[in-house]
Amino acid sequence: MQFNTAQRELTLKIVYYGPGLSGKTTNLRALYQRIVPSLRGHLMTLDTADDRTLFFDTLPLVFRSGNLKVKLKLFTVPGQVMHNSTRRIVLQGADAIAFVADSQPAKRQENYKYWMNMVENLKMNGLSIEALPHVVQWNKKDLGDGATADAVAKMRAENKQPVFEAVAVRGEGVVETFLALVDLTFEQIDRTYLLSSKVGLDRNLFIEEVRRCLVDPPRIQDILPPRGPGGQGGAGGNLGGSGILGGPGETMPGGSGAAAAAAAADGKMAGGA
């Protein structure tokens, strides 16, 4: 987070993380389509011919809230293994994470591997998923199966972070994922920086301003279920070990230890390159 008090400007960095081809760039494209045209910043994507993100994508969203200028800077990471150092750099100074998992049964191990890779890369940046507002989006719901649906239900029941299903190519679930994350992010920075009492920036007002930037936005109360007891409002969570992304041996050959080690080794290799 950057807070420029002189210019009364707040900048938040939101990173879409996940395995290659899970739909991160598609999320940004779909979101761009839902931003009121007069408010649209420049969506910068850099794909190779086969849909692979080469570096990263960015989409800014700038609006006023109270007497503050707010900049939300959205980034995606490139998913391919060889781009780990880029992923790590993109995570620098992240304020919030949308983890885009792939619902395809064949991708469950990938999801887990990239979750662990994210945990590792956050750590290298002095960040931790437990302390960062985050949501999980299960994209490509149209390609999921019963086992994916079970995994989603189980993750929801654990109540560690908001969980969304999406079909980003059709724009479904994209705005919901984004708004929920922005809401959690505001809550978190408000806890730390007391924005409501210090600069009169209130959570509802903030979210309303974000909604105003969007065409036909859902209501926030329809997106976020009431927080259950023990729900950490996105600040908690320990999803890597929960088995939900295909971890602890359930759905993944080799068990969690092997995947975690593989993910960590990945990180080390690319980091050292």
Ligand X SMILES: Nc1nc2c(ncn2[C@@H]2O[C@H](COP(=O)(O)OP(=O)(O)O)[C@@H](O)[C@H]2O)c(=O)[nH]1
Sites of contact with Mg ion (CB under 5 A):
24-25, 53
**Cβ distance 132 to 96 under 8 Å?**
yes
CB of 82 to ligand X, least distance (A): 13
Q: For ligand X, give the closer residue by CB, 62 or 81.
A: 81
Per the DSSP assignment, residues forming a β-bridge with 72 are: 12, 61
How far is it, in rounded angstroms, from Cα 202 to Cα 197? 8
Which residue has the closest beta carbon to Mg ion? 53
Our CA angle for 262, 263, 264, nearest 5°, is 90
CB of 154 to Mg ion, least distance (A): 27
Q: For ligand X, give the closer residue by CB, 16 or 206.
A: 16
Q: For Mg ion, give the closer residue by CB, 79 or 247.
A: 79
Q: Choose the contact partner of 143 out of Mg ion, ligand X, none; CB within 5 to 8 A by kind.
A: ligand X
Q: For ligand X, give the closer residue by CB, 35 or 169.
A: 169
CB of 140 to ligand X, least distance (A): 4
CB of 195 to ligand X, least distance (A): 32
CB of 53 to Mg ion, least distance (A): 3
Q: Choose the contact partner of 140 out of Mg ion, ligand X, none; CB within 5 to 8 A by kind.
A: ligand X
Q: For Mg ion, give the closer residue by CB, 25 or 137.
A: 25
Which parts of this chain interact with ligand X (CB under 6 A)?
18, 20-26, 51, 53, 76, 79, 139-140, 142-143, 167-169
